Amino acid sequence: MNIALVTCESLTQYAAPTVEDEDSLLTRYLREQGHQVTPRVWTNPAVDWAGYDKVVVKSPWDYFDRVDDFYAWLDRMDATGIQLLNPSSIIRWNADKKYLRDLEQAGVKIVPTHWLPKGSEVVIDDLFDKLGSDQLVVKPAVSGGAKNTFTLTRLETAERLPQLTELVQHEDFLVQPFQPQIQTEGEWSLIYLGGQFSHCVLKTPKSGDFRVQHYLGGGIEPREAPAHLRQAADRIIAQFAQDCLYARVDGVDANGEFLLMELELIEPFLYLASSEGALTRYEAALHQ
């Protein structure tokens, strides 16, 4: 197959020195299997996307900084009949974290969430009371890489209110109760390839932090997926990730119950190097 791996100009800023660049790893493996693989920057207007058998949305990690341009690019792909992996309709839906509402309405247990629409008034004291927590996590509805994501305690309300008020003037935000088990136990990521479970990792933040991204110093440990987490993730994938080449289900184990934090269907790091056979399973999924 002739494959385009969709990426961005600033890919290297997201890679930690201890983590091999996953795009390079995947490209090397697929070429060894006889495929032609070319990294292509999604913002490059000169790319002839129609010249590829598969256009795989792998790492456009800057899309949230220019989301209108990204949506316009998806529109152009649709208009010219180019099929993306994952499908453009799923990417569009998944780009805004308001997709979590759809999952919650379908019965998926998510971390309790309060939404702050762009331009709305921010009353932080009410948020602590509504969410039943003395520590909150604030993040944009369209974001990645922990951009503009921070924790907030009651004691910090006066200091941080101006910052949050200013941020909400420009885009939608969401607020969730801080999940302390992220610091004590970690955040689970279950990876699916071609709709089938592939592997699982447990991510832990560095000391004193709550963000688990590896390029922010977080740890990654391959683990066997606990049965109850796997069952919950399987149901989510079956209902919301059909026809997807890849999917990553992120969540925490809250007293034996899986709480979904993110369903990653756009450009997740897939931890392919952490599991023997993951690259083989990825290549097989491309043939589906």
Position 14 scores a pLDDT of 54
Domain count, the chain: 3
Q: How high is the mean pLDDT of the chain? A: 90
* Average pLDDT over every residue of 9-28: 73
Position 123 scores a pLDDT of 87
Residue 168's domain comprises: 114-177
* Average pLDDT over every residue of 200-211: 68
Position 212 scores a pLDDT of 44
Same domain, 215 and 278: yes
Out of 118-122, 155-159, 245-249, which region has the weakest mean confidence (pLDDT)?
A: 155-159
- Which domain-ending residue is among 159, 177, 195? 177
Ramachandran angles phi, psi of 260, nearest 5°:
-75, 135
Of 94, 99, 119, residue with least CA distance to 173: 119
Same domain, 277 and 198: yes
Please give the residue that has the higher pLDDT: either 16 or 138.
Answer: 138
How far is it, in rounded angstroms, from Cα 284 to Cα 148?
37
* Average pLDDT over every residue of 47-62: 96
Position 143 scores a pLDDT of 84
Of 60, 14, 82, 7, residue with least CA distance to 38: 7
Does position 178 have pLDDT exceeding 60, yes or no?
A: yes
Same domain, 253 and 199: yes
How far is it, in rounded angstroms, from Cα 176 to Cα 138?
7
Same domain, 103 and 226: yes
Same domain, 68 and 154: no
Position 218 scores a pLDDT of 59
Chain segment 142-154, per-residue pLDDT in tens: 987 777 888 899 9
